Amino acid sequence: MTHTTMIDGLPTGGGPHCETTALGVLLAHRGLELSEPMLFGLGGGLSFLYWDSKQQELPFLGGRVRPFELTTNLAARLGLELHVSETASERKAWEEVRSALGSGVPVGLQLDSHDLEYFGSRVHFAGHVVAMYGYDDERAYLVDTAQQGGAVSTSLGSLATARSARGPMSARNRSFTVALPEPAQDVRDRVPELVAAAIADCAEAFLTPPIANIGNRGILTAAKRVPGWFERVADPASDLPTIAMLMERAGTGGALFRNLYRDFLAECVGLGLPEDITRRIAEGRDGYAESAVLWTRVAALIDAAGRAGDPEPLAEAGRRLKDIAAIETDAMSTLRSLAS
């Protein structure tokens, strides 16, 4: 007889971003429903990362903070109880998940998307996050992004492999659950009081990165490096379109996170905050609306360079990245002023 453990009544449609999709599932189970842009913004999710090393097959452009940083930021901002488990033991990791699900609590998992059977891209990315809401003798039942199908499943073996993957951005079989120390309505009622500080903190981090490949400095680093990618990658005809696809459709960078932050700022404009604060938030919203369009253009230029076998579109992408850096620096400078 097949044993099945399943939690019903959860939102399983998925959103555009993995970590906020998973958080939305876990919080909805606790009765707290906030939009995905609001979760992203309150968690200070926006950033930029240019990462390249000899160990990497392809350069990496990321449009968000490090995996799980958004979750810890959001928990601190909303006063959530966040329980996190990490272990090198696959057995202990599985028991932790089984225990939570057996208690009727969905679980967030950080893992390598490469090993999930349903996942569309076969590129290693160990910073992926899903929500798990059930399992049987053979399969795990997950909520992933809408791009990947929302409610999906993968074999228990593939899940274990994905969870124990090592490499850049990986965690040791990380799982997490959330709880609310107060009624969900009370948390919702506090949101308008929290947004200005969340925006200002995110802007400060973006404008004062510790190294030159993060934040606004990171975008300028990318502007210098991208024009040389034709010589950097092994197979431009395949690798450059792959990078462009990851940016625009797989959720690592490009316009996706700029659109999420634009929508977060637009939602904040409608919260009835003081006029001066609302005006500055609206200026930031407009800046990120402009930036998102240019990010989509950059991805299209990288794709075109690979398909045409011509490095010139990469030079144009570098110029557009300089424009993006200027726009986002201006927007974040305005938003940082919300701290005063």
Q: Are residues 143 and 171 in the same domain?
A: yes
Q: Are residues 126 and 224 in the same domain?
A: no
Q: What is the pLDDT of residue 169?
A: 85
Q: Are residues 24 and 95 in the same domain?
A: yes
The CATH number of residue 96's host domain is 3.90.70
Alpha-carbon dihedral 241, 245, 248, 253, rounded to 10 degrees: -90
Query: Confidence band (pLDDT; 50, 70, 90) for 130?
Result: very high
Say yes or no to pLDDT of 251 above 70. Answer: no
Residue 61 domain flag = no
Q: Are residues 141 and 246 in the same domain?
A: no
Per-residue pLDDT, averaged over 276-284, amounts to: 98
Per-residue pLDDT, averaged over 84-89, amounts to: 97
Residue 195 domain flag = yes
Residue 334 domain flag = yes
Q: What is the DSSP letter of 226?
A: G
When divided into structural domains, the chain yields a total of: 2
Say yes or no to pLDDT of 270 above 90. Answer: yes
Please list, in sequence order, all residues whose beta carbon lies within 8 angstroms of the beta carbon of residue 98, skipping any fewer than 6 positions away.
5, 135
Q: Are residues 173 and 148 in the same domain?
A: yes
Q: Other C-beta atoms within 10 Å of 340: how many?
A: 5
Q: What is the pLDDT of residue 54?
A: 79
Q: Which of 179, 201, 234 is the last residue of a domain?
A: 179
Q: What is the pLDDT of residue 252?
A: 64
Q: State how far the alpha carbon of 293 is from the alpha carbons of 129, 246, 255, 306, in Å.
A: 26, 16, 7, 21
Q: Are residues 175 and 193 in the same domain?
A: no
Q: Which of 179, 199, 225 is the last residue of a domain?
A: 179
Residue 312 domain flag = yes
Question: In the numeric block, which tokens belong to residue 222?
Answer: 């990318």
Q: Are residues 201 and 293 in the same domain?
A: yes
Residue 87 domain flag = yes
Q: Other C-beta atoms within 10 Å of 104: how many?
A: 10
Range of the domain at 318: 187-339
Q: Are residues 144 and 206 in the same domain?
A: no
Say yes or no to pLDDT of 178 above 90. Answer: yes
Say yes or no to pLDDT of 250 above 70. Answer: no
Q: What is the pLDDT of residue 56?
A: 82
Residue 70 domain flag = no
Residue 54 domain flag = no
Q: Tens digit of pLDDT for each residue in 190-226?
A: 999 999 999 999 999 999 999 999 999 999 999 999 9
Q: Tens digit of pLDDT for each residue in 22-58?
A: 999 999 999 999 999 999 999 999 999 999 987 788 8
Q: What is the pLDDT of residue 206?
A: 98
Q: Which of 127, 160, 179 is the last residue of a domain?
A: 179
Yes or no: say if 32 and 113 are a contact pair by the CB < 8 Å rule: no
Q: Are residues 196 and 166 in the same domain?
A: no
Query: Confidence band (pLDDT; 50, 70, 90) for 302?
Result: very high
Side-chain half-sphere exposure of 309, counting CA atoms within 13 A:
0
Residue 124 domain flag = yes
Q: Are residues 167 and 275 in the same domain?
A: no
> Is the pTM of the predicted complex or chain greater than 0.85?
yes
Say yes or no to pLDDT of 114 above 70. Answer: yes
Query: Confidence band (pLDDT; 50, 70, 90) for 248?
Result: confident
Q: Are residues 150 and 283 in the same domain?
A: no
Query: Confidence band (pLDDT; 50, 70, 90) for 91?
Result: very high
Q: What is the pLDDT of residue 156?
A: 97
Higher-pLDDT residue of 315 and 169 is: 315
Q: If you write DSSP's letter for every residue of 272-320 in order, what string do you get?
A: ---HHHHHHHHHHHHHHHHHHHHHHHHHHHHHHHHHHT-SHHHHHHHHH
Q: Are residues 221 and 125 in the same domain?
A: no
